[in-house]
Amino acid sequence: MKVLNSDMELVTLIFLISETILLLYQILFYLQNPIDKKQGYYLMLLFLFVIYNLFGGLFPDPNQNFSIVVQNILAYGSGFAVGCYIPYYFYKTYDLRAIRFHAVWGVGMFLFLPFVIFIVIEYIVTGKIIQSVKHGMIIPFIYAFYAMYNIFIAIRSKLKEDGQQDFQVMLIFVSFVPWISLPGISYFQGSQILEVSVMNTSFVLISFLFFYTNVKEARKKNEILLQLLSAENNLSVEERFDLKCDEFKLTTREKDVAVLICQGLKYKDIADQLFISERTVTKHSQNIFLKVGVSSRHDLNRVLVTG
């Protein structure tokens, strides 16, 4: 079923709308925590799938007002972009150093170069898109099987080392299957519905794995935080005081002065007890208040003693 007065199928539009909405949410999450590199890698993957569904659904369309050659290059190029990025995504997100060659160099030599040589240059010269696609898909199709074997071995070894569950290994492997099938679908001129369904199934699996892994990591971090808080609550007053002083980077002498200030002693009494001048006590006190960020004895006691 065609929609939007174009060659876009309804299933393509559904995926496009769903992934666009998800993209907007993920942008907000990423802006809240831009140092989360995994979130950034997933965001790029999501963006490429949105472009893939958009270009693959709309192009080629003779009714469009610009070159059919450009339309075909954009349609196939968006698919190649997704195909090139998926190995890199897994390489960076799951730290699979064993597949670095495939993620960085392999896709460039065996996916991107055939695309440029055949689907861009040959197609522009000959004007025969089907012939150019068939030529351009031979090398990627052969390479995909070789790369998939190496990638699967690397994934299994890495996740086993990290103590991950077997189904996670299988889920990653299954999510790669559409990546292998894409050159074959393009070579035999499979329908838009078939290609979009296969590729977006891969995205759904990758997304499930991404969110599942994030939830596991978040739970683990929360457990560690609770353990730390529990341990801190079991500390004695002296231990908690020392930790707070270390947190604010107080020197040994400043700690001595801070203890006596919190006990309510006057500067003169502190000087007598520590065998230093009252002027030195005043100087240490100023440094203590400055480092801790308070301006009164009461606030200092609240921060360092009662926590």
pLDDT tens for 199-247 read 999 899 999 989 988 888 888 777 766 765 665 566 677 777 888 888 8
The pLDDT mean for the chain works out to 86
139 shares its domain with 176: yes
Domain with 297 in it: 237-306
188 shares its domain with 249: no
243 shares its domain with 170: no
- pLDDT tens-digit map of 38-63: 999 999 999 999 999 999 999 888 88
Inside any domain, residue 227 = no
Domain boundary among 173, 199, 214: 214
Inside any domain, residue 301 = yes
197 shares its domain with 266: no
- pLDDT tens-digit map of 155-206: 777 666 665 666 777 777 778 777 788 888 888 888 889 999 999 998 999 9
Inside any domain, residue 21 = yes
Residue 164 has a pLDDT of: 60
Task: State the pLDDT confidence band at 3, using cuts at 50, 70 and 90.
Answer: confident
Inside any domain, residue 222 = no
Domain boundary among 214, 248, 264: 214
Whether the upstream peptide bond of residue 60 has omega within 30° of 0, thus cis, is yes
Q: How many domains does the chain have?
A: 2
119 shares its domain with 244: no
